[in-house]
Structure 1
């Protein structure tokens, strides 16, 4: 079981690192490729758009072929994406490669979590899922500042090369994973897609997916603008932005561990409500400038603590709610919903913010929007709490 956790953890880690690296160095890449610093958020927002398409296209294959071959193919695609990104010199090249990265790296996590649900029994499932998900805040806390520093002293092209090299570890470990049959013996695309979309017909599943959409939408109204916001409004360098994300990453680790503690003891909705309330409060304080600028790293700590404490419960519920023959498609449907929320958040934040006099204006509007979205989350949690959300637990 430890080897399984190590494999899933490392796969999610490199996939997350490749994505969040764009936050501190996206402005540099946009400037050097001719995309323009004002369009740097596109390097983040284009990724989930194509991850959504990939999840929709590959959903039936996860349950038919099993998670192991899919994970191997996706990690291999991530390596290829990084190597090709080293050669990007024009705006079209880098945008195409960010789209390709979204199609491969963007769906590593749901396939990894589906495998965690397959390989573990009910008593161990929450532990395997939560320990694997710890890779996300770990990549943010240690990987992002390291990559910011590494790119500063070398180049962003070398940064992509380093991630490609690092990805060889999960690829090697994935080759040794135990193949697990999902019970789907015939590939009937029409039937598999019909079962995929019929997941929305179950009331509890629908509410969990709605909650996931709102959770991701809230944080991705902020994330695409964070790098530019810190650079323009706080005059931070790439290394300073990386150090801010180090603090934020520690908050995310702390939030993940708190949530995991409650989830392993049977709690599901409380961690989501706690994290949503904390994220809402701190985001409003940060974006409305209610505290001096010196507190921004502390605010990012609590912001990411709130964000990270929400997801373990959702992912565990998704592995519990359907049998193994549907688990891959449900996790990929969740990824479709997640990436729709990420793309929507990026678009909304771009519409609400703009540059004026070398500053990013409009972040306070983003904060107020998050208050409204958070209230919707609390309403959805209230509805879900009145229902028995389990379909099966095996």
Structure 2
């Protein structure tokens, strides 16, 4: 039976629950490191005298380097124990995050973000390969629901604390906090995560380059890559200037920002597991389509807001984030069903690369569209970014429909 049909819920074993927890907290730090750039945006733009375009470059630097890293490692991703590969890149990510916390100039910040992206950008793909190896398709909606809770947890815990530290000390302190948490998690991965080596038995390609080529040349794989790229562009385009828009256009105070992220993150912790269960019980494609349409409606409303009361901003932010995050769980679960066992590491690395590069393109494009006359002036043309997100979201629905159709034919 297809995972997109109604099916019985398969329970997790105790070992599987441990794996889910460890991958979730790993994703928490990686997502926090990337997500914290947006709420810190107003601090960083004023501290380092950055224009919106320059800040867009700083955000996209991580994404582009992560994308390049994904392509470079794709051919090797299926040739090692996934646990060892995860630890290697996670340690590099920690070092890069420390460099971000020690950066005191725009040039140093961009260099640190590039270094962090080279390692951090691959971690999600390795985690997804581990999930695909250890969990059936009928379980992956729930697994992704829990792992994606790292996003909500980063908003509930990490981002408010990071903003608090930035407010009383400096924005650099937020990155040092992420690095400290990540060190503890790295030790836990080393001790508790089991080795994942089953894919090594299925390897046939003697050359990493040949393995990469064999992965890229498959049509159904390329459709999956395209769907992921469209999802990322639609998700990342508004992201870099979210806090600057809230402060300068909606007139939320910097003191209210942590509470805004806390509440929306808390709502994500409640919503994501529910969406995961629905994705496993109902059609993943239907859940994705409903979430995408809902997100498009909320994006139009939010990007056209002017000065508004805090309670209204909170409500609209929750409703918009509900649509954005609810797309990712069924979409990721569907895309994870595309690759064969021997190609999973390479596929996930290339897919993550497409995701990161697309996110970098989105941030750079948004930086060219959005204009700010001076440091405290309202952002202009943010609504145009919202309209572009709608067009891209429609394309993502079409591409994911093709992914679901390919799965129904091949699985």
Cα 1:390–1:336 shift into 2, 3 Å: farther
- Find the counterpart in structure 2 of residue 209 from structure 1: 225
Residue 165 of structure 2 is aligned to residue 150 of structure 1: yes
- Find the counterpart in structure 1 of residue 395 from structure 2: 376
Residue 318 of structure 2 is aligned to residue 301 of structure 1: yes
Cα 1:185–1:38 shift into 2, 3 Å: closer
Deviations 1:24-81 (A, max 9, x none): 1133234434545763333322211111011011112221113111110111112211
The 1-side partners of 2:337 and 2:52 are apart by: 43
Higher relative contact order (CA 8 A, sep 6+): 2
SS in 1 for 2:379: strand
Single out whichever of 59-68 and 242-251 deviates more from structure 2.
Answer: 242-251
The 2-side partners of 1:276 and 1:208 are apart by: 17
Residue 361 of structure 2 is aligned to residue 344 of structure 1: yes
**Given the alignment, which residue of 49, 52, 70 partners 1:55?**
70
RMSD after superposition: 2.4
Cα 1:207–1:240 shift into 2, 3 Å: same
Cα 1:154–1:356 shift into 2, 3 Å: closer
**Given the alignment, which residue of 54, 75, 98 partners 2:113?**
98
Residue 207 of structure 2 is aligned to residue 192 of structure 1: no
- Find the counterpart in structure 2 of residue 172 from structure 1: 187
What stretches of structure 1 of length at least 5 have no aligned partner? Answer: none
Contact 2:121 2:353 in 1 (8 A): no
Superposition TM-score, scaled by structure 2 size: 0.87
**Given the alignment, which residue of 324, 333, 336 partners 2:341?**
324
- Find the counterpart in structure 1 of residue 294 from structure 2: 278
Contact 1:252 1:307 in 2 (8 A): no
**Given the alignment, which residue of 266, 271, 279 partners 1:263?**
279
- Find the counterpart in structure 1 of residue 5 from structure 2: none
Superposition TM-score, scaled by structure 1 size: 0.90
What stretches of structure 2 of length at least 5 have no aligned partner? Answer: 1-15
Residue 367 of structure 2 is aligned to residue 367 of structure 1: no
SS in 2 for 1:62: coil
The 2-side partners of 1:157 and 1:350 are apart by: 22
- Find the counterpart in structure 2 of residue 85 from structure 1: 100
SS in 2 for 1:310: helix
Q: How many matched pairs? A: 389
Displacement of 1:288 in angstroms is 2.0
